[in-house]
């Protein structure tokens, strides 16, 4: 009888350990995303805590403050082969004033005959510049759903911290690239 209780206890411990590891595996991706947004690790820009005014179009600057120079922002768009969408920037590059808010637009179109959801991941090149990018508003923060045939403008509002010009590794940068890739939302499968 004592042997049976030990076996049951061992099985319960193993099951609890397996469930805990399974839970950690599901939590790993969101926790890693949070880590990357907070630290700028892997070229992931931080998310700004407050919104500021922005002037839009294909890009540009707005707001006020000390002018710290101009940066060319190149926009890159990619899409998973498993998501039947078209995705591209409205303009491939524009200039913005460092330290002021700016807005860029991407366009997504659902080419399928049914509603589909996607989630975008983003990166900044060069990676070292990512710590100086604060995204105030971005379609990449949330799941995006497009109805069959629907087209949507997807804005990105951001600022480039003037500290980018003080960092020896980034002060000579004239161009940075925002790269977005859309993947299908697994819940649509």
Query: Is the CATH code 2.60.120.10 the one for domain 44-188?
Result: no
- pLDDT of the chain, 189 residues: tens digit per residue: 788 778 888 877 777 666 666 555 555 545 555 555 555 544 455 544 433 333 344 444 444 444 479 999 999 999 999 999 999 999 999 999 999 999 999 999 999 999 999 999 999 999 999 999 999 999 988 999 999 999 999 999 999 999 999 999 999 999 999 999 999 988 776
> In angstroms, rounded to a whole number, what is the distance separating the alpha carbons of residues 158 and 125?
15
Query: Which structure tokens are listed for 17?
Result: 């350990």
Helix locations, 40-112, DSSP H: none
**pTM of model > 0.75:** no
Q: What is the DSSP string of 27-56?
A: HHHHHHHHHHHHH-GGGPPEEPSS------
């Amino acid at each position: 009888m004592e042997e049976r209780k030990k076996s049951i206890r061992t099985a319960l411990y193993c099951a609890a350990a397996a469930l805990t590891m399974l839970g950690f595996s599901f939590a790993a991706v969101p926790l890693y995303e949070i880590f990357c947004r907070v630290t700028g690790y892997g070229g992931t820009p931080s998310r700004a805590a407050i919104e500021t005014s922005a002037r839009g179009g294909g890009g540009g600057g707005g707001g006020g403050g000390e002018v710290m120079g101009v940066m060319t922002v190149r926009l890159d768009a990619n899409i998973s082969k498993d998501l039947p969408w078209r995705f591209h920037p409205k303009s491939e590059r524009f200039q913005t004033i460092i330290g002021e808010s700016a807005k860029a637009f991407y366009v997504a179109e659902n080419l399928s005959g049914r509603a589909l959801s996607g989630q975008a991941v983003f990166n900044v090149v060069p990676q070292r510049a990512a710590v100086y990018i604060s995204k105030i508003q971005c379609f990449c923060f949330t799941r995006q759903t497009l109805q069959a045939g629907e087209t949507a403008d997807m804005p990105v509002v951001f600022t480039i911290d003037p500290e980018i010009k003080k960092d020896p590794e980034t002060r000579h940068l004239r161009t940075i690239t925002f790269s977005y890739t859309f993947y299908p939302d697994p819940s649509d499968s």
